[in-house]
A = this chain, B = another copy of it.
Amino acid sequence: MTGEEVAFVGLGAMGFGMATNLVEHGFNVTGFDVYAPNLERFVAGGGKSSTTPREAVESAKYVVFMVATAAQILSAMFDEETGAIWAIPRDTVVLLCSTGPPEHAPNVRRLLDGKYQRGDVQLVDAPVSGGTIRAAAGTLTILASGPEMAVRNARPVLDAMAGEKLYLIPGGLGAGTKVKMVHQVLAGVHITMTSEAMGFAAALGLNTSQAFEHLRKSEADSWMFDNRVPHMLERDPTVYSALNIITKDIGIVTADGRAEKFPLFMASATEQVLAAGVRAAIGLEDDSNLIKVYLPKSPDLVFQQGSAAVTTTADDPKLKLVAQAMAAVHLAAAAEAMMLGAKVGLDTKQLQEIIATAAGTSWMFVDRTPQMVSGKWQTRRTVEDVISELSEAIEAASRMKYPLHLAGTALQLFHLAAWRGLGSESDVAICRVWDGADGPVFPRES
């Protein structure tokens, strides 16, 4: 219906799906990618091609950037020869959809207003989440922020890419990226915990297919767990999301933690495991291959045990160990993420609602974070209970010399909470570990 001109820069796994979806919505899309086969594939899918970002934007009403890093956006936007800036029409709406650091979109705004004197270009911070399938279906989660008019003018494209999953984030340009950043704490921890947990299940001798089916129906579940484990069980060679991507995203999180001098134990432990994965040369593989860091001598064990001649029932005590480790890690990560969100000034209630239905969600997140935000602690399981359960899991792993990087870190956080006198409180009290000199972030209501 629209026929409006869109320039789309970055036709990788996600970008290709997003751009093609815009074509299907009737936009007239000119694509650009540094990798020629991506461009050819896009033309075959009904798009037009261009040789530079500068050429791509010539008649664009909207420009979407969906490249890998903030540095690539700067290059595509401002390169002295090929940059979009030299051809971008007046009042064009630019959507920054890549995940960068929170200061990225404001930086681009400053460059447009200052050095390039293009105050007319309308900029929207619009990081996305959801994977390739939802990218192609136009049902991505998009976290849009920026000046009201710019966001309103971007709506036709945002609506086509996100459908009902479009969130408008208050707080100005960059606020959407802050939400994405907090979301990525959970995405990173959950992706890593998926490997930690499934490797643990395999090392414990469980039937991993059956273990997966039970775990995903329990409070150990996370969206990433549901999504990634089938890749392991089927030994699927497809790269749905390369390990390098989540490694980059978690790097943004910990860099922000350093900038804010804010403790991020779970994100930091996750970053080190991911770095170990990149060092083990699996950066370009699907992130479900992180299992190779946990089982370096038997990387196929999760696959092999998927058809093991053992039955793993829902009440198998060994399965319980895995579930306990997962639930505790997810709870600690949920607390850490919400505390970071509060620290960077986000509306924590909206943050909670967005993450609860996005790829960073988990059973624990959905159940516990509303209690954190409201201060109404209702869960009866106590910090001490979590310590007992998690200790059981860690003792079993210790006997096998199986590394539980994340569960080990989580246990110390629960220990710290107990040591500070919160042992007999609801496990939601784990959020109190992040209490600063100014007192609790979320005061308790009884």
Binding site for B on A (CB under 8 A): 247, 251, 254-255, 257-258, 261-265, 268-269, 271-276, 278-281, 283, 293-297, 384, 387, 391, 394-395, 397-398, 401-405, 408-409, 411-413, 415-416, 418-421, 423, 434-437
Contacts and interface: CB of A to CB of B under 8 A. Distances in A.
Given A263-B415, A263-B416, A412-B265, A397 B436 contact: no
A403 B405 CA distance: 12
A395 B258 contact: yes
Contacts of A297: 279-281
Given A279-B297, A391-B258, A419 B405 contact: no
Contact of A401 (B247, B257, B421): B247
A403 B261 contact: no
A240 to B, nearest CB: 20
A263 B436 contact: no
Chain copies in the assembled complex: 2
A271 to B, nearest CB: 6
Contact of A279 (B280, B283, B295): B295
Contacts of A269: 269, 405, 408-409
A275 B403 contact: yes
Nearest to A397: B275
Contacts of A251: 398
B296 A279 contact: yes
B275 A418 contact: no
Q: Provide the main secondary structure of the chain A interface.
A: helix
Given A264-B415, A297-B281, A420 B402 contact: no
Contacts of A405: 269, 272, 405
Contacts of A403: 272-273, 275-276, 279
Given A272-B405, A409-B268, A387 B279 contact: no
A281 to B, nearest CB: 6
A262 B415 contact: yes
Contacts of A408: 254, 268-269, 271-272
B419 A387 contact: no
B275 A401 contact: yes
A252 B264 CA distance: 27
Contacts of A437: 419-421
Nearest to A398: B251
Given A255-B395, A269-B269, A271-B398, 19 more contacts: A251-B398, A254-B398, A258-B391, A258-B395, A258-B411, A261-B418, A262-B415, A265-B265, A265-B412, A268-B408, A272-B403, A275-B398, A275-B404, A279-B296, A279-B402, A281-B297, A409-B409, A420-B436, A420-B437
